[in-house]
Amino acid sequence: MEADFVIVGAGSAGSALAARLSEDGRNSVIVIEYGGTDMGPFIRMPAALSYPMNMSLYDWRYESEPEPQLNNRRLAAPRGKVIGGSSSINGMVFVRGHAADFDHWQESGARGWAFADVLPYFKRMETAHRRGGGVDRRWRGSEGPVHVQRGRLDNPLFSAFIEAGRQAGFGTTDDYNGWRQEGFGASEQSIHRGRRWSAADAYLTPALKRNNVSLLKGFATRIVIENQRATAVEVEAHGKLQRVGARREVILAASAFNSPKLLMMSGIGPAAHLAEHGIEVVADRPGVGSNLQDHLEVYIQQECIEPITLNGHLNLVSKAMIGAQWLFLRQGLGTSNQFEAGGFVRSRAGVRYPDIQFHFLPGAIRYDGKAAAEGHGFQAHVGPMRSAARGTVRLKSREPRRAPEIRFNYMSGENDWRDFRHCVRLTREIFAQPAFDRWRGAEIAPGAGVESDAEIDAFLREHTESAYHPCGTCKMGAPDDPMAVVDSDTRVIGVAGLRVADSSIFPRITNGNLNAPSIMTGEKAADHILGRSLPRAEDLEPWINPDWQSTDRLKR
């Protein structure tokens, strides 16, 4: 079994890579994926999003080591184990990131990954839909395979949240993936014609119709490296161990957890750590598994005094009706992820671009669906975007099927606590605006008795959760950066014929949800791999609040 390119992982970046590397018919591609089909209704129905990320059928079921600052809780760290990867189990909120995020990538050593360089790929990958038109085609794509729609905002609480953000002085944005991210507005969703539109739908499924692309269901155990060159991937498939040969290159797109794990299993990583597990060192790269980043968030829940929230649809009869309406008509509540409004704001004067994100939900329920508030309620998920905390992914043993050791080191700096306290108080301020007067009842969480710094900190220790945006563990940077794992062409430094192209190569986490920049990474990496001429940089200037140095809001 052999191909020109062997890709490990059929997720967001891997699917894009498979499609782009094979589209001219000159190269053969084998994609290795341990997970199975993505055709289940829990994946396809947007409103059922809490189910697949809690099912071992679709999720690797990873969790963190006890987090010292969070009462030693182990936090869930789901990653997709299915065709489409995490794009098949995520919340379907589509966010590119802020332009300044990618400019920071370039400044930190990822040459050619500034916003002007990546914008053409964001446009190439998407078809941005909006009822009534009005999409700015300087910023947005119209012919790409990833379909992106706007939230319908049918529930009046969505509009109330956007208006409350305006009333609080933050302004609104018509398109946070366009010219202006800062402000409150409708969220964008990777949903098309009433169902989840994953990277598999956009890229892999069409690519598999080509004679030069095949999918192998198997568990990748290590990369075979001969004379400092990757030549094959060792895979457990069909009850036996076999090698899948790569005539040109092996490309890892296996997630921020599994990509560094595979590198370390193959002898690429911190030499001392590999020696602990008896693994022969092929390349001493201390950055492998370091630089782990994530977004942490907390839910602020408010009682709703009118029965218009999702909490009224959580009984079995309502769920059955929603499911039937979606299954037979592709209509109703089942066609939305229910995250239809959100916001990006700056935490204080002197912060140049947004560093806090809001997701609004017209219901009061845990993201994983495990616990709902009594009665009716609504909530905002809120958290800082650019924590200085850095964690690690390490091997627990040299046994390939053993889960990696994941340590995020959440809330490890005093600024983390300061920023999160501000998030809690800011959300309360937004919920207190006149736009919510008609619907606002008592605060459910944290609750009226949680006011002081110490009380808020205690609430945060017990209730913060991952937003499921891990990245950074195979950092992209300059070849002379000792912590860089791949160069700006996504090549693993020190080993030929091997690349990494997924969220693990992000030098620093981007604003918002990571599915869109992960797909972009696969798109751009394909051009680097094939040696194509890169598209002309598009040097558009994003909106920056002209008064950012003196206020966190708009000047009245």
Which residues carry out catalysis?
A: 469
- Orientation angle between helical segments 12-22 and 515-530, nearest 10 degrees: 30
Nearest CA to 249 out of 528, 533, 3 is that of 3
Q: CA 376: distance to chain centroid?
A: 29
- Whether 264 contacts 288, CB under 8 Å: yes
Rounded distance, CA 198 to CA 337, Å? 13
- Whether 168 contacts 343, CB under 8 Å: no
* Tokens describing residue 467: 């937003």
CA angle, corner 130, sides to 126 and 132, nearest 5?
A: 145
Rounded distance, CA 446 to CA 436, Å? 18
Nearest CA to 323 out of 333, 308, 315, 337 is that of 333
Question: Which helix (H) or strand (E) element contains residue 63?
Answer: none
For the chain, the farthest-separated pair of C-alpha atoms sits apart, in whole angstroms, at 70
DSSP letter assigned to residue 203? I
- Whether 490 contacts 499, CB under 8 Å: yes
DSSP letter assigned to residue 204? I
Nearest CA to 8 out of 192, 246, 179 is that of 246
Q: CA 66: distance to chain centroid?
A: 22
**Per-residue buried b or exposed e for 489-502, using 16+ beta carbons within 10 Å of the residue's own CB:** ebbbbebebbbbbb
Q: CA 54: distance to chain centroid?
A: 17
- In Å, how far are 44, 409, 413, 460, 461 from 416, measured between CA atoms? 36, 11, 5, 11, 12
* Tokens describing residue 346: 């700056």
Nearest CA to 257 out of 535, 34, 433, 459 is that of 34
- Whether 509 contacts 471, CB under 8 Å: yes
Answer positive or negative: Cα dihedral of 198, 337, 354, 182. Answer: positive
* Tokens describing residue 460: 């945060």
- Whether 260 contacts 432, CB under 8 Å: no
